[in-house]
Amino acid sequence: MRQGRKSDRKIGFLAVFLGLLLLHAIRISMPVSAGALEKGKIFLELRGDLSEPGVYCFSEIPSLAEILDRFGASEGAEALGGDIVFSSGKGVEISKEKGKFRLSLFDMTGYYKTTLGIPISINRESREGLLAVPGIGPRIADSIVAERSRRDGALTLGDLGSLQGIGPRLLGELERYLTQ
């Protein structure tokens, strides 16, 4: 009887292991697009004095009122104005001081952008953000930042091919994650 239990455990463990291995293989084979994971989706990071900060997905470009509504603060939209246009990969921080809302805009981190399939700008992203791109390690990130500084922030994707450690194959792989 005990021998049967050990055998069942081994078979169960093996089945779980093979299932995880299959899921990993499927995940690796799925290509990441050059745009947002789903075309037409707008991803915004919302943070600040909120009950539920995080990255939110909108089916179309949201108005400020829609964003504040997600925060449960829609009554403050008119005080902030409505002329702001939001795009995927941006962030909005909203704080409330003395009963008034304050709005700050920022870029999402490279890690969020890479995860969501939003291209990272080689001319604006920090060294840490560049490290989020598969294939870019500390030396290549440092080289990109140094070359960008040397060229006054005017680096093209083609210029990356001249950097040590980036050959034609890696450059081809990086192009789906990067933009100028």
Q: In this structure, which CATH number among 1.10.287.130, 3.30.1330.10, 1.10.150.320, 3.40.47.10 belongs to the domain 119-179?
A: 1.10.150.320
- The whole-chain average pLDDT of the chain stands at 81
pLDDT reading at 36 higher than 60: no
pLDDT category at 29 given cuts 50, 70, 90 is very low
Between residues 108 and 6, which one has the greater pLDDT? 108
Given this model, what pLDDT does residue 101 score? 74
% of the chain residues with pLDDT over 90: 41
The DSSP result for the chain, as a single string, is -HHHHHHHHHHHHHHHHHHHHHHHHHHHHSPPPSS-SSTT-EEEEEEES-SS-EEEEESSPPPHHHHHHHHT-GGGHHHH-S-----TTEEEEEEEETTEEEEEEEEPPHHHHHHHTPPEETTT--HHHHTTSTT--HHHHHHHHHHHHHTTT---TGGGGGSTT--HHHHHHHTTTEE-
Taking only the tens place, the pLDDT of each residue in 142-163 is 999 999 999 988 899 999 999 9
Given this model, what pLDDT does residue 13 score? 78
d(CA 33, CA 177): 8
